[in-house]
Amino acid sequence: MQKGESKQAGSEGEIGRGDANGTGNPREDGYVPDRFFEIRFESIGGLGAHAAGQILATSAVLGLRMNGAHFSSYGSEKKGSVVRSFVRVGPSELPVRTSAPVETPDAIVVFHKALLKSPVAFAGLKPDGTIIYTSPPGEPVPPAIAGLPATVRVARVDALQIAGDERSRPNAVLLGALCALFPFLETEVVLDYLGKEFEKKHPAAVQSNEKAFRRGAAELELVSIDGGGEESIPSTRFEPLWGYETAPIGGVLPRPGNSAWNDLSTARMGWIPVFDEERCIHCALCDLVCPDYCFVWKADRDTGVPTETRLMGIDYRYCKGCMRCIESCPTGALTRETEKSGMADALRVPLFPEIIA
Interface residues with ligand SF4 (CB under 6 A) are 273, 280-286, 289-292, 294, 311, 314, 319-325, 328-329, 331, 333-334
* Residues ≥6 apart with Cβ < 8 Å to 87: 38, 39, 40, 41, 53, 56, 57, 60, 68, 69, 70, 102
Q: Please, which residue, 152 or 294, has the CB nearer to ligand SF4?
A: 294
Q: How far apart are CA 32 and CA 18, in angstroms?
A: 9
Q: Please, which residue, 100 or 356, has the CB nearer to ligand SF4?
A: 356
Least separation in angstroms between residue 268's CB and ligand SF4 is 8
Hey, which residues does 85 pair with through a beta bridge? 41, 72
Q: Please, which residue, 21 or 335, has the CB nearer to ligand SF4?
A: 335
Q: Please, which residue, 194 or 280, has the CB nearer to ligand SF4?
A: 280
Least separation in angstroms between residue 326's CB and ligand SF4 is 7
Do β-strands 295-299 and 221-223 pair in parallel, antiparallel, or remain unpaired?
Answer: unpaired
Q: Please, which residue, 71 or 271, has the CB nearer to ligand SF4?
A: 271
Least separation in angstroms between residue 288's CB and ligand SF4 is 8
Q: Please, which residue, 18 or 291, has the CB nearer to ligand SF4?
A: 291
Least separation in angstroms between residue 15's CB and ligand SF4 is 45
Least separation in angstroms between residue 165's CB and ligand SF4 is 21
Least separation in angstroms between residue 272's CB and ligand SF4 is 8
Q: Please, which residue, 108 or 286, has the CB nearer to ligand SF4?
A: 286
Least separation in angstroms between residue 178's CB and ligand SF4 is 30
Q: Please, which residue, 17 or 279, has the CB nearer to ligand SF4?
A: 279
Q: How far apart are CA 51 and CA 198, in angstroms?
A: 10
Q: Please, which residue, 3 or 324, has the CB nearer to ligand SF4?
A: 324
**If you ran DSSP here, which 8-state letter would residue 318 be given?**
G
Q: What is residue 221's three-state secondary structure?
A: strand
Backbone dihedral angles phi then psi of residue 101, each to the nearest 5 degrees: -60, 150
Give the DSSP per-residue string, 40-102: EEEEETTS-HHHHHHHHHHIIIIIH--EEEEEEEESS--TTSEEEEEEEEE-TTSPP---S--
Instruction: Find the angle CA(66)-CA(60)-CA(115) to the nearest 5 degrees.
Output: 125
**If you ran DSSP here, which 8-state letter would residue 175 be given?**
H
- In whole angstroms, what separates CA 297 from the centre of its chain? 33
Least separation in angstroms between residue 264's CB and ligand SF4 is 8
Q: How far apart are CA 113 and CA 117, in angstroms?
A: 8
CB atoms within 10 A of CB 65: 22
Sign of the C-alpha dihedral computed for residues 61, 68, 220 and 264 taken in this order: positive
Q: How far apart are CA 64 and CA 13, in angstroms?
A: 8
Least separation in angstroms between residue 267's CB and ligand SF4 is 8
